[in-house]
Structures are given as structure tokens and as C-alpha cells.
């Protein structure tokens, strides 16, 4: 739909680029008094995508919440992207999302029709995912925000954590990088190609449901979704949590080619600099990897793909099956015993 005013102009940040840096979060959560429970197998101390509580031998409860400012001007599309992004955390844990609550902040200047369209986009994407939106909470504020608190379920043995990669695993990424750079260019009115933007919109509204279903048929040891911390930030969390080193082969990493041009111009979102500050010291570059390509690796993604660490014996088979339904999926690296650095970027 067309809007006279621009929804993105009501927000200072866009999408997952608004996410507080991982380094800042860890400091904020230090030394809090919390209860423990052996059934809570994934909590905030794990830096994972969602919390996981084992109800019984057959059922694990997965909970997550995600919301952000507008990344596009179309309210309906914004609602779709925000819902897709929030639901993704459950897929990243290997679960099936079932219930959700709306999280919405509206400004005084927003038209009622915009608010309805944001919610309609969220409801439509939740319906596609098989998720019931059972309520929510709406407030007034200075910037619009939308997302979901999502509850999912899985068998305990199906849970895929982000700290269980093993030496010898290969790494598979299911969506292209560069979303943050291109949406930043669009907000600055420098990216005006409708074909490129339509490609981004399709990617950001693509559920990770199919990717999750495929990976569960193979010996996947670890998984996370690539969102606000960028490929580098989420890879760093996987490597450090697993006590391994992840090797990222830039020649194999899928990304939107147009993003390289804007990155070369220095047009990158603020979140990319926060991500670089968080994990650059934990990374080593081997070979000639341009600054622009490195920026793409640090680029915060909105509704990004899954990063999967799978047993090398299953790597090729998983990739073949994944590419048959998700053509952009690619094998982008491998896992070794811990080296000096947590991440090695290879040309």
C-alpha cells in the first residue's frame, strides 16, 4: 500500500539494527540474583535465541520475544517482517511455534489504518506459521515498535542450541547477507531499485520453518538465526559457547551483490559498528578480504537465515535438500578445535 508519510521516518533506527550490542547486554546482566532450575536448559546466560524449559520427557517449552522499529514504509509489510523475525527464534531452537502475543508501540501521529495494517501483517504471517496470536500489549510512545512474544514446543532431544558446534562440523547459511546495508541505503533514499527491494522483502518475510524442518532430518549439532548481531556476532557466540573456532569462507557466503557497492561507499548501519566492536578482537582475517566484504559480515540482519553446524558426514546431503527448497542456502565454512581466535575469516 502507498502512504503519504514515511513510516521509517518516525524511527531513528530500523529493524534489527536497533538491537543493543551483545557486549553491552552481557554487562547489563552481570551479577543479577536469579533462581535456578535444572529444567531450564537454556536461559539468558547462554546468549541463545530463546529460553528452553523441559516440561517432561516429551515436551520442551520454548519462549522468546522480539520487536523493533519500522524497517519499511508499508505498514502491512512491516508487520509481516517483524512477525517473521520474532517467530524465527523458535525455529532456530529446533522447535515448532504455537502461540504468540503482540507487542506494539504506536505514536500519536500514526493513523489508525497504519496500526491496523501492521497488526494484519503480523496476524497473516503468524497464520502462515501455524501460530495463534492470543493477545498482547499496546502502548503509546515516541517511536513505533512491533513484534511478538512467541511460545513454541519441541521434544527435548530436538532442541538445537547455539553452543554445541563440534570440530569437523560444516556450516550452512540459509539466507543472503546485506539486508541492513541495503535497507539503510533505502532509508537514505539512495537505493531506489524496486526489483532489489522486492527481493529483500521476499527474503525478510520468508519463514525459517522449512529450513528448520530440513535440518531436523540430519545430525545437526548447533543452530542460531542470523539477525541483529550479524553473521560475525552470531558466529562468535557459537564459537565461544562451543569452545571451537568457526572458519568463514567469504568466497562461499551468499550476499546481495548491491550491498557490496554501498558498503564500499561506507553506507553501513550503526549496528554494524557495534557488532564489529563486540567481536572484531576475536577474529582473524586470512587472505585479501576487503573492508566492504567485512562490513557485510558484521551487517545486522533483519529476519535473517539460520546458521547451522552439521556433522560433516551429513553436510552435502543437508545442503542438497536445503537448496531444493531454499536456493540461496550455501555451505560457508567449517568448525575446528579452538585456535587462537574464535573466528577465522578466509578469503
Q: For residue range 263-308, what is the model confidence (pLDDT) as tens digits?
A: 999 999 999 999 999 999 999 999 999 999 999 999 999 999 999 9
pLDDT for 1: 38
**Res 31: pLDDT:** 78
Domains and CATH numbers, the chain: 7-158 (3.30.1330.10), 170-346 (3.90.650.10)
- From 16, 105, 236, 279, the catalytic residue: 16
Cβ-proximal residues to 134 (8 Å cutoff; 6+ apart), any chain: 99, 100, 101
Residue 224 has pLDDT above 90, yes or no: yes
* Contact predicate 87/150, CB 8 Å: yes
pLDDT band at 30 (very low <50, low <70, confident <90, very high): confident
Q: Tell me: the pLDDT tens digits for 160-195?
A: 999 999 999 999 999 999 999 999 998 888 987 999
Residue 229's contacts (CB-CB under 8 Å, 6 or more residues apart) are 19, 21, 22, 236, 237, 275, 278, 300
Share above pLDDT 70 across residues of the chain, in percent, rounded to a whole number: 94
Strand 96-106 with 170-173, pairing: unpaired
Q: What's the pLDDT at 96? A: 98
Residue-level pLDDT at 14 = 59
Q: Is the dihedral of CA 225, 228, 230, 235 positive or negative?
A: negative
H or E stretch including 114? Answer: helix 112-129
* Percentage of residues in the chain having pLDDT higher than 90: 84
Mean local confidence (pLDDT), 91-98: 98
- Give the per-residue pLDDT at 76: 98
Mean pLDDT comparison of 28-32, 46-50, 104-108, highest-scoring range: 104-108
Question: What's the length of the chain?
Answer: 347
**16 in active site:** yes
| 73 neighbors 7 (Cβ within 8 angstroms) | yes
Does residue 23 register a pLDDT over 70? no
Tens digits of per-residue pLDDT, 299-328?
Answer: 999 999 999 999 999 999 999 999 999 999
264: closest CA among 151, 319, 185, 206? 185
Band of residue 20 on the pLDDT scale cut at 50, 70, 90: low
Residue 334, SS3? strand
Q: What is the pTM assigned to this prediction?
A: 0.92
Amino acid at each position: 500500500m502507498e502512504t503519504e508519510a514515511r513510516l521509517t521516518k518516525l524511527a531513528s533506527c530500523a529493524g534489527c539494527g536497533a538491537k543493543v550490542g551483545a557486549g553491552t547486554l552481557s554487562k547489563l546482566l552481570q551479577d543479577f540474583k536469579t533462581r535456578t532450575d535444572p529444567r531450564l536448559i537454556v536461559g539468558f546466560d547462554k546468549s541463545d535465541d530463546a529460553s528452553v524449559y523441559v516440561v517432561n520427557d516429551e515436551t520442551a517449552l520454548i519462549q522468546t520475544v522480539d520487536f523493533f522499529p519500522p524497517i519499511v514504509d508499508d505498514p502491512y509489510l512491516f508487520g509481516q517482517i517483524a512477525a517473521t523475525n520474532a517467530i524465527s527464534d523458535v525455529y532456530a531452537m529446533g522447535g515448532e511455534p504455537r502461540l504468540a502475543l503482540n507487542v506494539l508501540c504506536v505514536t500519536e501521529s500514526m493513523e489508525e489504518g497504519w496500526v491496523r495494517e501492521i497488526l494484519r501483517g503480523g496476524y497473516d504471517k503468524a497464520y502462515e506459521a501455524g501460530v495463534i496470536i492470543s493477545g498482547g500489549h499496546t502502548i503509546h510512545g515516541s517511536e513505533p515498535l512491533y513484534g511478538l512474544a512467541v511460545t513454541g514446543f519441541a521434544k527435548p532431544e530436538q532442541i538445537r542450541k547455539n553452543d554445541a558446534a563440534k570440530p569437523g562440523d560444516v556450516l550452512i547459511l540459509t539466507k543472503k547477507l546485506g539486508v541492513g546495508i541495503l535497507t539503510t541505503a533505502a532509508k537514505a533514499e539512495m537505493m531506489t531499485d524496486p526489483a532489489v527491494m522486492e527481493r529483500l522483502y521476499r527474503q525478510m518475510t520468508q519463514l525459517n520453518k522449512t529450513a528448520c524442518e530440513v535440518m531436523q532430518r540430519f545430525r545437526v549439532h548447533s543452530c542460531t538465526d542470523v539477525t541483529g548481531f550479524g553473521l560475525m556476532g552470531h558466529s562468535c557466540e557459537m564459537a565461544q559457547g562451543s569452545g571451537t573456532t568457526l572458519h568463514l569462507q567469504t568466497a562461499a557466503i551468499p550476499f546481495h551483490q548491491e550491498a557490496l557497492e554501498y558498503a564500499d561507499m561506507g553506507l553501513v548501519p550503526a549496528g554494524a559498528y557495534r557488532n564489529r566492536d563486540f567481536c572484531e578482537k576475536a577474529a582473524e582475517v586470512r587472505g585479501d578480504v576487503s573492508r566492504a566484504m567485512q562490513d557485510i559480515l558484521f551487517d545486522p540482519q533483519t529476519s535473517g537465515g539460520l546458521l547451522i553446524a552439521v556433522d560433516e558426514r551429513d553436510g552435502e546431503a543437508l545442503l542438497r535438500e536445503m537448496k531444493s527448497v531454499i536456493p540461496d542456502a550455501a555451505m560457508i565454512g567449517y568448525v575446528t578445535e579452538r585456535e587462537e581466535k574464535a573466528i577465522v575469516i578466509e578469503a
